[in-house]
Amino acid sequence: MAEIQLRNLTKRWGSFVGVDKFDLTIRDREFLVLLGPSGCGKTTTMRMVAGLEDATEGEILIDGKRVNDLDPKDRDVAMVFQSYALYPNMNVYENIRFPLRVRRIDPATHDERVRRASAMVELDDFLHRKPAELSGGQRQRVALARAIVREPNVFLMDEPLSNLDAKLRVSTRAQIKNLSHELKVTTIYVTHDQIEAMTLADRVVVMKKGVVQQVGSPTEIYDRPANAFVASFIGSPAMNLMSGQVTGGTFTADRVAIDGVGAPDGPVTLGFRAEDASVVEGGGQINAPIYTMELLGDATMIAVRIGGALVSVKADKTYRAAIGDMVSVAVPSDHVHLFDATTGERIDG
């Protein structure tokens, strides 16, 4: 049992606010992802939970017990960092075993626990090797096994996949997903990669400049972003956002006219996802020359320029055209998202 409560957690350095009034309960066994760009406060939040940073204000409770004044070693959390932090003079077996020795766990249990942890991350054939003889993905798995072997109350993972190449990232992500299902340990995972967040999380916390923008399941955040920032950060490609004007239920911008928009007259930001629009023969809501085209294998991604923004549309994989050709794009009004032109907050029409 490891419920974590963060109550108005704040971190300041002088006048700079790194995390501002972070207030959230992380449920027992939940996999929570902190997502946002560099400098948004996600790693600082996790380091405060770990005890590596002192909170300026607010409280951290693990299982109802206030841990603000406890040393990291007394909080029963295990961390996996972006850098693997392995001991080069020890083989894989001893690296995994190290936390058990430091914590003076009964030596009679070490071998069984090390081998169970190594099996979970498929390292049984590498236990005799030194870190220098391993690939980046294997080293990251050693770091994961070293955290698993402790059997902690809480896992804290800080961008653990960012040093891996794209293919390894996919396979290691799958491994972490499977481990979280098997181990059922409360996990806080920090990343700037929204694909990691969408695939791993039970809930996602999107942060910007130290402030929580939205908390919800990946589906909720994808389908109903709370503001234009969240909309622009989630999705691959990100949601298209266009500045324009609503007059009598019609949104207009350069080369754009979309009827049936439920917003008061005035300036708005309109968004839609690439997969919700389609290329048509004519009569679409957007008519513009193709700016660029990318063949993705399963689809063709077309982009047109609207004002200062690039707007992406997913077409059929067989679609072919040249840059500069005029294209007509249908945008269903029931798939658009509207945001306040000034604050960026969602408008529910």
CATH number, residue 76: 3.40.50.300
pLDDT in tens, the chain (349 residues): 689 999 999 999 999 999 999 999 999 999 999 999 999 999 999 999 999 999 999 999 999 999 999 998 889 898 888 777 889 999 999 999 999 998 888 999 999 999 999 988 889 999 999 999 998 888 888 988 998 898 888 999 998 888 778 887 888 888 888 888 888 899 999 999 999 999 999 999 999 999 999 999 999 999 999 999 999 999 888 999 999 999 999 999 999 999 998 888 999 999 999 999 999 988 899 999 999 999 999 999 999 999 888 999 999 999 999 999 999 999 999 999 999 999 999 998 5
The answer as to whether 341 is a domain residue is yes
Query: Domain containing 199: what range?
Result: 4-228
On whether both 168 and 302 belong to a single domain, the answer is no
Count the domains in the chain. 2
On whether both 290 and 327 belong to a single domain, the answer is yes
On whether both 189 and 328 belong to a single domain, the answer is no
The answer as to whether 235 is a domain residue is no
On whether both 26 and 150 belong to a single domain, the answer is yes
Residues ≥6 apart with Cβ < 8 Å to 66: 59, 60
Q: Which of 228, 255, 285 is the last residue of a domain?
A: 228
Amino acid of residue 196: E
Instruction: Sort strands 346-347 and 337-340 into parallel, antiparallel or unpaired.
Output: antiparallel
On whether both 41 and 123 belong to a single domain, the answer is yes
How far is CA 32 from each of CA 42, 47, 65, 112, 249, rounded to the nearest angstrom? 12, 15, 20, 30, 39
User: What CATH number did the domain enclosing 257 receive?
Assistant: 2.40.50.140
DSSP 254: T
Q: Which of 228, 257, 276 is the last residue of a domain?
A: 228
pTM score? 0.89
Burial class (CB in 10 A: 0-12, 13-18, 19+), 91: middle
